[in-house]
Structure 1
Amino acid sequence: MLYRICFILFLTATFANAQSAIIGKWKTIDDQTGKERSIVEIYKKGNKVFGKIIRVLKESDRSKTCIYCSGSDYNKPIEGLEIIKNMERDGSSYEDGTITDPENGKTYRCKLWIDDDNPDILNVRGYIAFFYRTQQWQKL
């Protein structure tokens, strides 16, 4: 009985640690150019995880708005824009939500997970059908 309780406590601590690891500020890195683009803050709302751009790193782009976004995000300032929405935990990753690229306004299905080899790297994958692209963001 004691072993069972210890095992349950271990699993609970492991899952709680995985969840808290994703929460925080991350520096976005463009996977094609290697350039640092912005700072995104990932946070919880209820049972779901969201992320918003809190700082655009290129000073000349800080006043830009999301002219290609649709719905309530149309023409909103990119700084402060919620780009990650409704992510739900699935084991050690987060899925079933979306990510929006403010450069073109396109929204993709999304998956987020902490890198197995480096806990300071967040893998961010956007999907269209079975095509995908993955970026690695750095923990601040």
Structure 2
Amino acid sequence: MTQFTQRARAIALRTARHAALAGALLASAVTAMAQATSPVGTWQTIDDHTGQPKALVQISQDGSGELSGKIIKGLNPNDQADRRCTACTDARKDQPMLGMTIINSMQKDGDAWDHGQILDPENGKIYKCKMHLEDGGNKLVVRGYIGVALLGRSQTWIRQQ
């Protein structure tokens, strides 16, 4: 192999490595931008009473653009893995909380998402829901309410990577 061929091969390898690195950085930047503008992803919820992490909720988007969210993991070691929604009054009655869809029909409304519902599996109540992102997409403020948004409560969920 000639010295020229060896140099050409070395340059080609460096170029390929740089291209792969650039592709990875671009993919990371695109992911970060998408996270900053969409609640799609995994979120850690916080218990209102204890202030401790409670569960992980996976929010996804369907083909029509609506968001839904389901519980994918409980984080409280004192909770039983097979806990059921005994207080639910709809089709989720006595169903396992793990894997349960608790957010549905959320639609983009400007910089927020609205017009959906959220279930509190602790008391079985279903509330109207609206949400918006804060802190560069790392926090999701979720508000459940009855009637008007002033009559409700908000929780701030933390994005998980």
What TM-score, normalized by structure 1, do the two folds share?
0.81
- 2:137 aligned counterpart, secondary structure: coil
One-letter code aligned to 1:119: G
Unaligned regions of 5+ residues in structure 1, if any? 1-15
Task: Choose from 139, 155, 159 the match for 1:121.
Answer: 139
Aligned pairs (5 A) from 1:13-92: 17=34, 21-46=38-63, 47-61=65-79, 62-92=81-111
Count the aligned residue pairs.
125
1:13 maps to which residue?
none
CA contact (8 A) 1:31 1:134 kept: no
- 2:91 aligned counterpart, secondary structure: helix
The answer on 1:134 being equivalent to 2:151 is no
CA contact (8 A) 1:38 1:56 kept: yes
User: Normalized per residue, which structure has more strand?
Assistant: 1
Give the deviation of 1:92 after TM superposition: 1.2
Unaligned regions of 5+ residues in structure 2, if any? 1-32
Counterparts of 1:52 and 1:80, CA distance in 2? 6
Give the deviation of 1:132 after TM superposition: 1.2
RCO comparison, higher one (Cα < 8 Å, 6+): 1
Q: Which has the larger radius of gyration?
A: 2
CA RMSD of aligned residues (A): 2.0
What TM-score, normalized by structure 2, do the two folds share?
0.71
User: Normalized per residue, which structure has more helix?
Assistant: 2
One-letter code aligned to 2:153: R
Counterparts of 1:19 and 1:119, CA distance in 2? 4
